[in-house]
Amino acid sequence: MNIEELSKSQLLLLTILVNFVTAVATGIITVSLLDVSPPFVTQTVNRVVEHTIQTVTQAAPAAVVAATPAPSTQDLVTAAIAADASRVVAIYSGVTGTSTPVIAVGTFLPKAGAAVTAAQEALPKQVLVEFADGSFAPASLSKAGNGYMIYGFADGATLPKVTAPTLLETSTLKLGQTALAISADGAASTGIVSQVTKDGVRTTLPAVGAGSAAVDLSGNLIGIAAGGTPGLLLPASGITALLTATTSAATTTPAK
């Protein structure tokens, strides 16, 4: 049969057959040569094969990581709420301690070694702070003003190890941005940033209790509930300003 008379399918099959026979023959010849070759040649070939296998094996995890799906919105929400919950603190009177009810809730700021809450006239200067892990530490009012009260802990105080939140600047907030909060009774709430004004950050969150923190999907602090008006937050940027201020306001401004 003349090869020019073969169809495309027959030519393809012929090519595959030739390649297969060539590969088998090459393998047989290679094995035969290795059997009669000096030991150092065999060792060199084995090293090349081992190195190739190691290279492929090391490159495989990178491909697996690249294929890992991004976290879902639900995963982000649950992680952010968990981070927020780990920083919730209950504030008791420093005189009566836990023998009397909680007088306020707030948020633990690990980097500052302090706890922040919304200003209230009834809050004393000396308090006992209960952390989310059940531990306690006494604290003293260190700074107050513009609706905030910040209590500092002693240098030698044993404080829990939790993830420190980023205090978001008001200018970075966007309308429609997700806001998450945990109320004083431990209930989780979701909402969005609806307006940013000079009076504070307004959200669609329900009344969660003065001092309760609101965070974004990354667990960063948007602000703390001002109390009184549902959804109104004292912005986190105000906490940053108060922490970095050299002096504190002489009198506190109660939450509106």
For the beta carbon of residue 197, count every other beta carbon within 10 angstroms: 9
Provide the 3-class DSSP secondary structure of residue 187.
Answer: coil
Whole-number pLDDT of residue 57: 63
Task: Delineate the domains of the chain, giving CATH numbers in brackets.
Answer: 8-66 (no CATH), 74-153 (2.40.10.10), 170-244 (2.40.10.10)
Cα three-residue angle 99-104-105, rounded to 5 degrees: 115
Mean pLDDT estimate for the chain = 85
pLDDT higher than 50, residue 185: yes
pLDDT of residue 39: 63
How large is the average pLDDT for residues 32-50? 63
Whole-angstrom CA distances from 27 to 15, 20, 21, 39, 88 are: 18, 11, 10, 19, 69
Q: Is residue 181 packed enough to be buried (19+ CB in 10 Å), middle (13-18) or exposed (0-12)?
A: buried
Backbone angles phi and psi of 202, in degrees to 5:
-95, 135
One-letter amino acid of 31: V
User: What pLDDT is stored for residue 249 in this prediction?
Assistant: 46
> What per-residue confidence (pLDDT) applies to 254?
44
pLDDT score of 251: 42
User: pLDDT digits over 217-236, tens only?
Assistant: 999 999 999 988 999 999 99
Q: What pLDDT shows up at residue 52?
A: 65
Query: pTM (2 decimals)?
Result: 0.69
